[in-house]
Structure 1
Amino acid sequence: MKAHEGDVLRFTGRTVGCPEHHATVVKVLGQNGEPPYRVRYEDGHETEIFPGPGCVIETRPAHETSFGRPHRVRR
C-alpha cells in the first residue's frame, strides 16, 4: 500500500452496524509512500496508523480538499 499526503483512506465496516469512515493522510512516515501514516479523521482528531485489509486509498486531485468523490482508487 502506498499513499501520498492528501490521499484519503476509506475504511469499510467489517461488522454489521459499523459504518464506513474516512481519514486524510497528513504525513507519510514510511519510505516510498508506505505506512505508517499520520491521518486526520472527519471529526478532526489525528493519529498514526498502519492500515489493514479493510482500507482503500482514494487519491484526490490537488484542488479537492473535502471528503467527496475520489479521483482514482489505488489498492
Structure 2
Amino acid sequence: MQASVGDKLLVHGRTVGQHDRTAEVTEVLGKDGTPPYRVRFDDDGHEALMSPGPDTVVRPHDTMHDKM
C-alpha cells in the first residue's frame, strides 16, 4: 500500500453494523509512501498513527478532487 499526504483512506467496517470510516493522510512516516501514516478521521477529527490492513483502500487526493 502506498499513500501521499492529502489522500483519503477508506476503512471498511469489520463487523455487521460497523460503518466505514474515512481518514485523511496528514503525514507519511514510511519509506516511499508506505505505512505507517498519521491520519485525521473525517467523522470526529480524531488523529491516529495507522498501519492499514486489508480492509482499507487508498483514494488518491487527485481522484477525490476531480470528482468534486
Which TM class, normalised by the smaller chain length?
0.7 to 0.9
Structure 2 length-normalised TM: 0.87
- 1:20 aligned partner: 20
Q: Which runs of 5+ in 2 are unaligned?
A: none
Structure 1 length-normalised TM: 0.80
Cα RMSD of the aligned pairs, angstroms, is 2.1
TM-superposed CA distance for 1:63, in Å, is 8.8
- 1:73 aligned partner: none
- 2:53 aligned partner: 52
Percent identity for Structure 1 against Structure 2? 45
Q: Find runs of 4+ consecutive structure 1 residues off by over 6 angstroms.
A: none
Greater relative contact order, per chain length (Cα 8 Å cut-off, separation 6+): 2
Question: Larger helix proportion, structure 1 or 2?
Answer: 2
Distance 2:4 2:33 in 1: 6
**What secondary structure, in the 3-state scheme, does the structure 2 residue paired with 1:32 have?**
helix
Report matched runs for 1:1-75 at 5 Å: 1-42=1-42, 43-61=44-62, 64=65
Residue 63 to residue 8, structure 1, CA distance change in 2 (3 Å): closer
Residues matched between the structures, number: 66
